[in-house]
Amino acid sequence: MSTAGTRMVTRSWSRGPGVGPRGSGKEAAPLPRGKSASAEGRKSNHPVKRHRKTQSLKVAYEASDGEKGEGIKVPSWEPQDWQQHLANIRTMRSEKDAPVDQLGAEHCYDRSVPPKVQRYQVLLSLMLSSQTKDQVTAGAMQRLRARGLTVDNILQTDDSTLGALIYPVGFWRSKVKYIKQTSAILQQNYGGDIPASVAELMALPGVGPKMAHLAMAVAWGTVSGIAAVDTHVHRIANRLRWTKKVTKSPEETRAALEDWLPRDLWSEINGLLVGFGQQICLPVRPRCQTCLNQALCPAAEGL
């Protein structure tokens, strides 16, 4: 099972209603969801014992993503106090009232349309969300959905109209081109659906690894990696010393987290940390005084 692009299932996890493998004859419904770090001083982190409960989790992943298919990996290192950090963040995020909870790209699709169209809308919203605030992505998706957001409709929409509909998302001109090209490929090669592997998704124009992993999680209910390590996750992981070394980019942080973070947490961690970063662990002047992790956080002092 080491063939690149081959998905592996290491544990079983309920994917949500209607989710089934491609070709099973059943439509799969998208799942609802749920100061420079390098400038900060670091403390050494010591291995700590982990007490993990057996969970019912289905995790499919791809050899092409760097996994060798060896099954559950026991990390040689994990951050000090990370379980308590996580429990505290869950408590602080219990209201689910951060912008990401309402407006994230994964919330912008229409749940009343057929599953195949929902998946297309998930992919479109992810493409629009790159370099774009959640509110702007949500507005563009609302305008597109009002006209009927399907592969056919997009292909019949001229570029200037499509541009006016998605403006002012970041790089909107390029996105018009990518959306058209991707929609044509989906129509020709996938019957209007989206592909169900990270490798195939990343082969689509304008779709990067972060979007591909998120699309797998939201549209197909398949955890293929830590879906989206953005600047919030990158910053917080470094502040809490959740990476063995200081990381310099979100992509580096994603790889560092995947080295030790239990797979059954991969689908949860992004939304949890993004909202935490929007509300408490802000980029500038984090609200350490109100943070439940203040006593445990190596970065709390001096911020």
37 counts as binding ligand SF4 under rule CB under 6 A: no
7 membership: H or E segment, kind and range = strand 7-12
| Active-site choice (116, 175, 180, 210) | 210
Torsion, Cα 59 269 127 99, to 10 degrees, reads 140
**Contact flag: residue 286 with ligand SF4 (CB under 6 A):** yes
Q: What is the helix, strand, coil percentage profile of the chain, to 5?
A: 45, 5, 50
Nearest Cα residue to 125 out of 104, 146, 111, 150:
104
Position 273 contacts ligand SF4 (CB under 6 A): no
Shortest reach from residue 225's CB to ligand SF4, in Å = 24
Strand partners, 62: 7
CB of 49 vs ligand SF4, minimal distance in Å: 23
Nearer to ligand SF4, 137 or 293 (CB): 293
Residue 233 as a binder of ligand SF4 (CB under 6 A): the answer is no
Which one of 125-133, 140-148, 219-227, 286-294 is the stretch in contact with ligand SF4 (CB under 6 A)? 286-294
| DSSP single-letter state for residue 30 | P
Active site residue 210: yes
Count Cα neighbours of 32 within 13 Å in the Cβ-side half-sphere.
6
Instruction: State yes or no: residue 280 binds ligand SF4 (CB under 6 A).
Output: yes
Alpha-carbon Rg for the chain in angstroms: 20
Per CB under 6 A, contacts with ligand SF4 among 76-105 are: none
The catalytic site residues sit at 210
**Contact footprint for ligand SF4 (CB under 6 A):** 239-240, 280-281, 286-288, 291, 293-294, 297, 299-300, 303
